[in-house]
Structures are given as structure tokens and as C-alpha cells.
Amino acid sequence: MAAAVCALAVALLPSGASASGAAWDLNAFDLCKQVGLPYVDDNASGATYNSDTGSLWVVTRSPNHLVELSQRGEFLRKVSWHGFDDPEGVAWVGGHYLAVVEEPTHGGITVVNVAPGVADVYQGRTAVGIEVWSNAGLEGIAYNHQKGVYYVVQEKGPKRVVEVHKSGYHKELFNLESVGVGDLSGIYYSSSIDNLFILSQESRSVIRLAMDGNSVQQRWDIGGDRPEGIAFTPDGQKMFIVSEPRSMSVYSTNGCDGIY
């Protein structure tokens, strides 16, 4: 598999060059808005989009919070949580439920209920501990609603994507050591095109990757201080990049009306 990844053909695409406006096409995204998130205490580490509410959730650490935002970055509410070590990524799994991945050596995925009115969540780690082989642990999480499985990325040592089942079974999907990015910091799965979008903080770029791991469809450079989380609307027309310590960039393939 590593040899196959070495042969990947990467197309470098300039940010901000809007082409056809095609959904999911990284080259079609324009930067519409960059907004500070003053109500995020520190270390905005991951983001996800809730299709039911049309809002975003951002996970933070120091202290640990889940913060709900509008698509324009407006504050909606904050949920505190305890009993976790180092939350790094978040994925919407349906209804009022979010899955959060933690970075420590053995990692873990926790599912929490953030229904309206919930202000504080205390829930232990559920289902799975994932062995990683370096101090650079699990950084991002995505959810495949059709298959009911998670995809998580390990930051480095090695840089890889792991598929995690709710039973706790997990396997490496592919190794990305040879893709040419410094680390892996976030991940999003699109069921519409069966592709993964993987974020790199150190390289400040997004990679669009086929699920066989053998072909990088696109690589696209982005801004932001330290990009950590990536989310899309289900139609693939808007992309959200959350960066440490507390900012968000909003991109669109369909113009910026209504985003400002």
C-alpha cells in the first residue's frame, strides 16, 4: 500500500479560483468570510455540521467545551464537559448526538447527547481504544452514516486513516506518509461522492482523497493560523475551516450572498 501511495499524482490547485461552482470541487471554492470566535476559550480543535439544525459544532480544549455556531460564526450556545483528556475532533452522527475523538496514546471515541437545554455533559469513553505508535495521536473524526463507521486520522508517526466500527473493531484504511503533507489534523467524509477530505495544519492544505487510498483527487492550499477542523454542508457548496486558537473561515462555490 505504501508503494501505491508513493505513486499518487497530486494536482496543486490555487485557492480562491472559482471555476464552475461545482459541488465538492476544491478549486471552485471562494473565501467568503474569516471570523474570530471570541466565545471559544482556546484551542478550537475540530468542527462538524449538523444537517438537522443547519448549525456547526466546534470542540475546544483548555477548557473542554462544545460550542454551537451559525454558519456565519455567530454564537448559539456552549456545552461544558468533563472526564476527557484531550478532545481533538468532532463528528455529527445524527439527531442530537456528536462523536468526539481524543488524542492521548490510546485514543478513544465518545458519543454525547447535546439536545436543546443540555448545558453540561459527563460521559465516559465508549466503544473503542485505538493503539497509536507515537506521541502524535488521533486528531480528527468523520462519520459514514450509511455504513455506521467512523474514520479517524492519526496526526503523524505514521500519518494514516483508521476505520473504526461501533463494536470497537478497527483497521488501518491506508497510510499517507508519502502524500507530501506535514501532518493530518482533520477529516470529513462525503457520502455523495464517496471521498475523504483531509486537512493538514502544518502544510495548510486540504486533500481530497478517493476511498481506495490510491489516488489524491485534489490538493488545495488554505489560510488560517493553525487549521484544525473541516466541515461541509451536505450539498458540498460550503466549506468551513476552524483554526486554533479561535477563528473560522467560510468558503462557498455558489457566491457569498447571505454569508456576511
Q: CB–CB of 149/141 below 8 Å?
A: no
Number of domains in the chain: 1
Question: In DSSP terms, which residues pair with 89 in a beta bridge?
Answer: 101
CA 39 – CA 191 distance, rounded (Å): 32
pLDDT digits (tens, 9 = 90+) for 24-52: 999 999 999 999 998 887 788 899 999 99
Question: What is the full DSSP assignment across 52-65?
Answer: TTTEEEEEETTTTE
| Sign of torsion over alpha carbons 238, 235, 219, 227 | positive
**What does DSSP assign to residue 4?**
H
Region at 196 (left for phi over 0; alpha for psi -120 to 50; beta for the rest): beta
Q: Check residue 20 and give its pLDDT.
A: 43
Q: Check residue 6 and give its pLDDT.
A: 35
Residue 11 predicted with pLDDT over 80: no
pLDDT digits (tens, 9 = 90+) for 101-141: 887 655 688 888 899 988 887 655 454 556 555 556 788 99
Place of cell 476511498: 211
Place of cell 471552485: 28
Q: How confident is the model at residue 190 (pLDDT cuts 50, 70, 90)?
A: very high
Determine, yes or no, domain membership for 257.
no
pLDDT digits (tens, 9 = 90+) for 70-83: 999 999 999 987 77
Average pLDDT over every residue of 156-180: 88
Q: Check residue 215 and give its pLDDT.
A: 75
Determine, yes or no, domain membership for 259.
no
CA distance to 28, 186, 191, 214, per residue, from 73 (Å): 22, 19, 25, 35
Which three-class secondary structure string do you get for 97-162?
EEEEEECCCCCEEEEEECCCCCCEEECCCECCCCCCCCCCCEEEEEEECCCCEEEEEECCCCCEEE
Determine, yes or no, domain membership for 80.
yes
Pairwise pLDDT comparison (53 vs 178), residue with the higher score: 53
Place of cell 467568503: 32
Question: In DSSP terms, which residues pair with 93 in a beta bridge?
Answer: none
The CATH number covering residue 121 comes to 2.120.10.30
Write out the residue range of the structural domain in which residue 178 sits. 2-252
Determine, yes or no, domain membership for 247.
yes
Determine, yes or no, domain membership for 196.
yes
pLDDT digits (tens, 9 = 90+) for 196-213: 999 999 999 999 999 987
Q: How many CB atoms lie within 10 A of CB 237?
A: 18
Determine, yes or no, domain membership for 260.
no
Determine, yes or no, domain membership for 258.
no
Q: Check residue 19 and give its pLDDT.
A: 41
